[in-house]
Chains A and B, each alone.
Chain A
Amino acid sequence: MAKVIMTADDSASVRQMVGFTLKGAGYDIVEAVDGQDALGKLNGASVNMLLTDLNMPNMDGIELIKQARSNPKYKFMPIIMLTTESQASKKQEGKAAGATGWIVKPFKPEQLVAVVKKVLG
């Protein structure tokens, strides 16, 4: 069965691009428009990996990572931050919250697939 990746981003075009790319690489995609939406959709669902933007309305990526990690089911799930902010502080904050890795926007589809393959296999 294909692995399920949730992509949380408030930008529809980014969601579309991420979804398109990862479906092409053989993964199933669940989309969420912000942190709150993502958390609601996670709620025990079988998700193998989370790709989240950091700046989102309602609930930002950092909080989403914290909340997801507090659920035992997602304790060891790979989480990748999509960020334009490669500032060490933001990345550190994300890592501290429990993110596995990050990918800096703008990125090319093949870079995204490479990172997903790296952490998810």
Chain B
Amino acid sequence: MDQHRKAYREEAYELLTELETSLLELEETPEDEELIGRVFRAMHTIKGSGAMFGFDDIAAFTHEVETTFDQVRGGRIPVTKDLIDLTLEARDQIRKMVDGETGDEGEATRITDSFRSILSAGELSTEGPASENTIGEKEVDEGGGPSGDQLREVLYRIQFRPESGIFATGTNPARLLDELRDLGECIVVATTDNIPGLEHMDPESCYLSWDVILGTDEGENSIRDVFIFVEDNCELKVDVIDDEGGIDGPAYKRIGEILLERGEVTSEDLQKALSAQRPVGEILVETDAVKEGVVESALAEQHLVNKVRERKQEATAASSIRVAADKLDILVDLVGELVTVQASLTQKASIQGDSELLSIAEQVERLTGELRDNTMSIRMLPIGTTFSKFKRLVRDLSNELGKEVLMTTEGGETELDKTVIERLNDPLVHIIRNSIDHGIEQPDVREASGKSRKGTVSLSALHSGAHVLIKISDDGAGLDPDDIRAKSVEKGLIGPNEELTEAELFAQIFAPGFSTAKRVTDVSGRGVGMDVVKRGIETLRGSIEVESKKGTGTTITLKLPLTLAIIDGLLVEMGPDHYVIPLAVVEECIELKSEDVAESNGRHIANVRGEMVPYILLRELFHMDGEPPEIEQIAIAEVEGGRIGFVVDRVIGEHQTVIKTLGKVYRDANEFSGATILADGSVALILDVHRVLQTAEREK
């Protein structure tokens, strides 16, 4: 604004000089209209621009002078020496004000009063050139939001019949309708009855009119503001047709009532039509009481009102109750206990071989299963609410960084366990920040590389088996493998000659202390973040993957389990103990014979149908005493994109695993994500396959 104020000052000085010259010339030739015009325009500009750039005092002072010269221009006040003297004084006063001198208030008032007295002598009506600002106020309304007390949705009927010459004012009625659509849900019905035959049609005339039914909470003034420029060129009627907030009202007015209320038919016509006992609209058209388009429009009104009411009703029907989250947690715990007890009941029943007891146990099993599924579904929330929170983040961030970013979301209805969603928030924030800060380029850069100025960040969620995949993709600069390599070497994360695949290089961005941003911004680039993200996702028993192409963008995929409380597990046995491997990662189980071990020359690699699969001896890893059986079994799991086997004594089978967290005492037991209670009351530890793999690698 300061630069504008400076420009205004410079301009004002020029104008004041011109004003002085003009006034002096005017003294010589008082009849010269051109000169009077120049004086008026100078005053006019000083005033108009003054008000715009915050020089309200100048604007107010100049107003009187301008008003006077408007009268002079109209020939109602003669140019006299007194007037010239006074105007010159006024000019000096303005000059002082532009200079920023506080000056003598009394002086300004004296000049203003003198002009006023000249004006009243000229018998001037109070209608000065700019004494009123009513339209200005209206413009302000337009920018402002809805008036506070009008927040309830009200249905309006807007009848808009533009003059045929409306196009000649450069008005596009379609834009006005678009503006109405922005105000809320609306149905627009065009009345085409006035379109003449082709031979009489003037393509530059408007023959259409529109009936709009609009549901909005913005209030009637907002609707009238839409039509502010055309109110003289059209017939406009705005009526409230449904202001009943309640939902128990009867179905909306019948078609005849609507037409009657609109003044489209008389009640006699209506009565006549009704007595014929056929669809009212049809009859009215036939009897020429109304045209077809009118009926169509009325039908649209009926339709929308009923729809809005239905929606209100649905909203009530689908009502929900709020329950404290910890009550739900307790419920889930209890269901977990029940599942455990039910398992021991089933086991006991099958041992006893009592058929009656068996059938009861089966029923309990079925009910427990349903109860478990229902309880779990209570904890499931759509991820959409989290997604919409990020819209704000994207908006603020892109503003801050001077980038143009559009965020799209998909699969917001995908449900995830409440805890997962809560703990997902921070990692997602990190990833989105990174996408916008590092990924999306500045608009000019994007334009130069042939992309649209606006970058896109899209969030999507979808179910995939027992997992939910969340993808965050951007169409930004993408990751540069060479940059990442250079940075990793510099930070000592990899050796200078280490050969890495692209995927392995990309995985480096999750290493602690890694950051490729050329400069540190407020947002990201401090090298904390992505490693935190990875840890966050891993504690949720999820995994994270990066795909990227330099120049076209990056996609980060998070794979998360549906729930944290109960999972399908594979129960295995080693010596006297039981363990659970999450079934979601297990691909197959095979046998490991001692001769296989002998053949592999001491390396821990199994031949699975021609494929070499490395394996981990869990007995060895957990330092268990005792001899393994002759034939061990391998559970082959997919971990971090590769296949790896876990060697156990015996695979028992699938097991509904109710996850119990390990207490603080066991917080160093990284290899286990929790424990579960088996049917016989004993405890089985749940393997965290990622961590087991890491531990095994470290020990090697």
Binding site for B on A (CB under 8 A): 10-14, 16-17, 20, 55-57, 69, 75-79, 84-87, 91-92, 95, 98-108, 110-111, 114-115, 118-119, 121
Whether the Cβ atoms of A57 and B8 lie closer than 8 Å is: no
Are the CB atoms of A106 and B48 closer together than 8 Å? yes
Contact at B48–A119, with CB atoms within 8 Å? no
Question: A13-B49, A14-B48, A85-B130 known; A103 and B139 CB under 8 Å?
Answer: yes
Contact call A86/B139, Cβ cutoff below 8 A = no
Choice from B7, B38, B143 contacting A111 with Cβ under 8 Å: B143
Q: Which chain A positions have C-beta within 8 A of B129? A: 84-85, 87
Would A17 and B41 count as touching, CB distance under 8 A? no
Q: Report the minimum CB–CB distance from B174 to chain A (whole Å).
A: 9
Taking a contact as CB atoms under 8 Å apart, the answer to whether B135 and A86 are in contact is yes
Q: Name which of B51-59, B291-299, B491-499, B590-598 contacts chain A.
A: B51-59
Q: For residues 136 through 158 of chain B, which have their beta carbon under 8 Å from a beta carbon of chain A?
A: 136, 139-140, 142-143
Residues of A within 8 A of B167 (CB): 75-76
A98 to B229, alpha carbons, bound, how many Å? 12
* Alpha-carbon gap, A13 to B58, bound state (A): 15
Contact B45 A98 (CB under 8 A): no
> Which residues 198-252 of B have a CB within 8 angstroms of A?
204, 228-229, 232-233
- Say yes or no: A13 contacts B51, CB within 8 Å: no
Q: Which residue of A lies closest to B168 (CB)?
A: A98
Find the A residue at minimum CB distance from B66: A84
On whether the beta carbons of B134 and A86 are closer than 8 Å, the reply is yes
Chain A residues in 8 Å Cβ range of B48:
11, 14, 84, 105-106
B319 at the interface (CB under 8 A from A): no
A93 to chain B, nearest CB (A): 12
Chosen A-B contacts, 30 in total, with CB atoms closer than 8 Å, are A11-B11, A12-B10, A13-B53, A14-B48, A17-B4, A55-B41, A55-B45, A75-B167, A78-B170, A78-B171, A84-B44, A86-B134, A86-B135, A87-B127, A95-B169, A95-B232, A98-B168, A102-B135, A103-B139, A105-B48, A107-B139, A110-B143, A111-B140, A114-B142, A115-B139, A115-B142, A118-B142, A118-B229, A119-B170, A119-B229
Contact bitstring B177-208, A, C-beta under 8 A = 1, else 0: 01100000000000000000000000010000
- Tell me which of B11, B37, B168, B233 contacts A12 (CB under 8 A): B11
Given contacts A14-B48, A84-B48, whether A77 and B170 have CB atoms under 8 Å apart is yes
Chain A residues contacting B232 (CB-CB under 8 Å) are 92, 95
Cβ 8 A contact of B51, one of A76, A95, A106: A106
Q: What residues of chain B lie closer than 8 Å to A13, measured between beta carbons?
A: 4, 7-8, 11, 49, 52-53
Query: Chain B: which residue is nearest A14 at the CB level?
Result: B49
Determine the residue in chain B with the shortest Cβ distance to A82.
Answer: B48
Q: Mark B30-47, 1 if CB is under 8 A from A, else 0.
A: 000000011011001101
Whether, in the assembled complex, B518 has its beta carbon less than 8 Å from a beta carbon of chain A, the answer is: no
B133 within 8 A of A: yes
A16 touches B4 (CB 8 A): yes
Let me know if A100 and B140 touch, CB within 8 A. Answer: no
Whether, in the assembled complex, B700 has its beta carbon less than 8 Å from a beta carbon of chain A, the answer is no
Contacts of A118 in B (CB 8 A): 142, 175, 179, 229
CB pair B132 A86 closer than 8 Å:
yes
A35 CB to closest chain B CB, in angstroms?
Answer: 12
Complex CA gap A108/B137 in Å reads 12
- 4 further interface pairs, Cβ-Cβ under 8 Å (given A76-B167, A98-B168, A118-B229): A11-B48, A79-B170, A86-B134, A108-B143
Smallest Cβ-Cβ distance to B134: which chain A residue: A86
Q: Closest Cβ of chain A: how far from B15's Cβ, in Å?
A: 8
- A99 and B169 contacting across the interface, CB-CB below 8 Å: yes
A55: B residues at CB distance < 8 A: 40-41, 44-45
B52 touches A106 (CB 8 A): yes
Chain B nearest CB from A47 CB (Å) reads 12
| Cα(A87)–Cα(B26), bound, Å | 28
How far is the CB of A52 from the nearest CB of chain B, in Å? 12
Taking the nearest CB of chain B, how far is it from the CB of A108, in angstroms? 7
Contacts of A76 on B, CB cut-off 8 Å?
Answer: 167-168, 170, 172
Which of B8, B40, B52, B229 is within 8 Å of A101, CB to CB? B229
Residues of A within 8 A of B52 (CB): 13-14, 17, 105-107
Q: Which residues of A contact B170 (CB under 8 A)?
A: 76-79, 98-100, 119
Query: B142 near A104 (CB under 8 angstroms)?
Result: no
- How many angstroms from the CA of A2 to the CA of B700 in the assembled complex? 63
Given contacts A84-B130, A86-B132, A114-B142, whether A106 and B59 have CB atoms under 8 Å apart is: yes
Residue in A20, A75, A87 whose beta carbon sits within 8 Å of that of B168 in the complex: A75
| Cα–Cα, bound, A56→B142 (Å) | 28
Q: Across the interface, do A114 and B171 meet the contact criterion of CB distance under 8 Å? A: no
Whole-angstrom CA separation of A82 from B127 in the bound complex:
19
CA of A105 to CA of B688, assembled, Å? 70
A100 to B176, CA, bound (A): 12
Instruction: List chain A residues, Cβ under 8 A from B37.
Output: 57
Which chain B residues in 50-94 approach chain A with CB under 8 Å?
51-53, 59
Please name all residues of chain B whose beta carbon is closer than 8 Å to the beta carbon of A98 when the two chains form the complex.
Answer: 168-170
A9 to B133, CA, bound (A): 21
**In the complex, what residue of chain B is closest to A57 when comparing beta carbons?**
B41
B135 touches which of A10, A78, A79, A104 (Cβ 8 Å): A104
What B residues does A84 contact at CB under 8 A?
44, 47-48, 129-130
**Given the contacts A95-B169, A105-B52, A12 and B44 also touching, CB distance less than 8 Å:** no
Please state if B135 and A100 are interface contacts (CB–CB under 8 Å): no
Query: With the chains together, A76 CA to B127 CA distance in Å?
Result: 33
Smallest Cβ-Cβ distance to A97: which chain B residue: B169
Complex: A33 Cα to B41 Cα, angstroms: 13
A85 to B48, CA, bound (A): 10
**Which residues on the A side are within 8 Å of B8 (C-beta)?**
13
Do A119 and B143 have beta carbons less than 8 Å apart? no
How distant is the Cα of A103 from the Cα of B8 in the complex, in angstroms? 20
In the complex, what's the smallest C-beta–C-beta distance from A74 to chain B, in angstroms? 8
Complexed CA–CA distance, A24 and B44 (Å):
27
Given A79-B170, A119-B175, A111–B142 Cβ distance below 8 Å? yes
Rounded to whole angstroms, the CA-CA distance of A101 and B227 in the bound complex is 10
Residue of B38, B41, B229 near A100 (CB, 8 A) is B229
Closest B residue to A113 by beta carbon equals B143
- Assess whether A56 is in contact with B41, with CB atoms less than 8 Å apart: yes
Within the complex, what minimum Cβ distance (angstroms) separates A1 from chain B? Answer: 12
B143 touches A114 (CB 8 A): yes
**A37–B136 alpha-carbon span in the complex (Å):** 28
B12 to chain A, nearest CB (A): 8
- Of all chain A residues, the one with the shortest Cβ separation from B137 is A104
CB distance from B87 to the nearest CB of A (A): 18
Residues of B within 8 A of A77 (CB): 170
Q: With a CB–CB cut-off of 8 A, which chain A residues contact B133?
A: 86, 104
- Residues from chain B with Cβ under 8 Å of A101 in the complex: 228-229
Chain B 302-315 interface mask (CB, 8 Å, partner A; 1/0): 00000000000000
